[in-house]
Amino acid sequence: MPSLPGVGFRFAGVGAHLPEKVIANDDLSDSMDTTDEWIRERTGIGARHVGGMTSELAIEAGRQALERSGLAPADIQQVILATTSPDFMCPGTAPAVAHGLGLDCGAFDVQAACSGWVYGLVVANGFLLQGMDNLLVIGAESLDRITDYTARDTGILFGNGAGAAVIQRDDSDAGRILGWDLGADGDYVHILYSEHDGVLTMDGKEVFRQAVTAIQRTTTASLEMAGLTVDDIDLVIPHQANVRIVEAAWKRLGFSMDKTAMILEHTGNTSAATIPMALADSLYKERITEGSKVLFLGFGAGMTWSSVIVDYAGSLTGTAAW
């Protein structure tokens, strides 16, 4: 099993941003045969936000994170943008985001669907090991561009948003990654995909099943690497596609919803943006304090899955995006 030793880090600043326009569940009843009650009960979602390009949303979340870090643009040495809804097929969206933030550094996209931001966190940690000091890791999506809001399965789920964090090397070693796991199984490409210029197509039941399995698998691997148990984790920040997926996985793993950072009701499924937005929300609500063991948990199309357990250092103020 690989390990990731040797470097301390902290979240130096976070940000979260949602576009203004909201599609509430009741609004969807106009375009499809559904009800607010059904969507809430079967998914936990109350509303989703739409509008804005991925780069615009990413720049706003990134700007907040940078401001809160107190760093200057010149201090950021790399931008990693996790997105599954890039502005263009080519080039990647990260260069436009770096430009919009006035940064002069490397910038690239990570495409690992809803697992992307946690993939980005592991990649960022690798850059810290190589000697970098400050990176910006953003998750941003404009999923409204690939969502059919008349489709009863996908149209109820997806929305736009962006979350960002400045990852800073910290040689005091107070904070660090304790365990991590990244995985993928391309045998399941067909259960959730969008063709070029298409919309998301999904086998909802199979995604549900595979997601629960992936969550169990990646959580167990990260806990094992960290030498921790479920009881040692103070807060889980999971990807959020449907609250019932999280509940089903928690039943098997033994986590409680009390220790889970949920934002889904206000945002819908925002793919790679969900976890960094929930991080910003958790810090805002002071659910994470010095020494907290936080499990970040991604799963999504691919299938891909990802988890990171962080020993949290710092005393950041978060953001309420809604």
Q: Which of 40, 145, 152, 259 binds ligand UT7 (CB under 6 A)?
A: 152
**Which stretch, 38-46, 176-184, 277-285, 287-295, contacts ligand UT7 (CB under 6 A)?**
38-46
- Interaxial angle between packed helices 204-226 and 243-253, expressed in degrees from 0 to 180 and rounded to the nearest 10: 40
Q: Which of 86, 175, 204, 318 binds ligand UT7 (CB under 6 A)?
A: 204
Residues 6+ apart with CB under 8 A from 235: 259, 260, 261, 282, 287, 288, 292, 293, 294, 295
Specify the 3-state DSSP secondary structure of 251.
Answer: helix
Residues 6+ apart with CB under 8 A from 253: 215, 216, 219, 220, 230
Work out the burial of residue 166: count CB atoms within 10 Å of its CB; fewer than 13 is exposed, 13-18 middle, 19 or more buried: buried
DSSP for 160-174 reads -EEEEEEEEE-TT-S
**Residue 238 binds ligand UT7 (CB under 6 A):** no
Nearer to ligand UT7, 180 or 188 (CB): 188
**Residue 156 binds ligand UT7 (CB under 6 A):** yes
**Which stretch, 34-42, 59-67, 97-105, 133-141, contacts ligand UT7 (CB under 6 A)?**
34-42
Residues 6+ apart with CB under 8 A from 36: 24, 25, 26, 29, 46
**Which stretch, 57-65, 135-143, 206-214, 283-291, contacts ligand UT7 (CB under 6 A)?**
206-214
Q: Which of 128, 207, 310, 321 binds ligand UT7 (CB under 6 A)?
A: 207
Nearer to ligand UT7, 34 or 292 (CB): 34
Nearer to ligand UT7, 235 or 243 (CB): 243
**Residue 40 binds ligand UT7 (CB under 6 A):** no
- Interaxial angle between packed helices 36-43 and 243-253, expressed in degrees from 0 to 180 and rounded to the nearest 10: 30
**Residue 235 binds ligand UT7 (CB under 6 A):** no
Find, among 297, 300, 238, the residue nearest to 263 by Cα: 238
Nearer to ligand UT7, 275 or 310 (CB): 275
Nearer to ligand UT7, 29 or 292 (CB): 29
DSSP 59: H
**Residue 34 binds ligand UT7 (CB under 6 A):** yes
Q: Which of 7, 15, 16, 43 binds ligand UT7 (CB under 6 A)?
A: 43
Catalogue the E-assigned strands of the chain.
9-17, 21-24, 47-50, 78-82, 106-110, 134-141, 161-169, 176-184, 192-193, 201-202, 235-238, 293-300, 304-311
Q: Are 84 and 113 in contact (CB under 8 A)?
A: yes
How far is it, in rounded angstroms, from Cα 200 to Cα 189? 12
Instruction: Indicate if 239 belongs to the active site.
Output: yes
DSSP 302: T
Instruction: Indicate if 90 belongs to the active site.
Output: no
**Which stretch, 61-69, 117-125, 241-249, 278-286, contacts ligand UT7 (CB under 6 A)?**
241-249
**Residue 300 binds ligand UT7 (CB under 6 A):** yes
Nearer to ligand UT7, 113 or 221 (CB): 113
**Residues of this chain, 163-192, that bind ligand UT7 according to CB under 6 A:** 192
Instruction: Indicate if 49 belongs to the active site.
Output: no
Q: Known catalytic residues?
A: 114, 239, 269
Positions in the binding site for ligand UT7 (CB under 6 A): 34, 38, 42-43, 114, 152-153, 156-157, 192, 202, 204-205, 207-208, 211, 241-242, 245, 269, 300
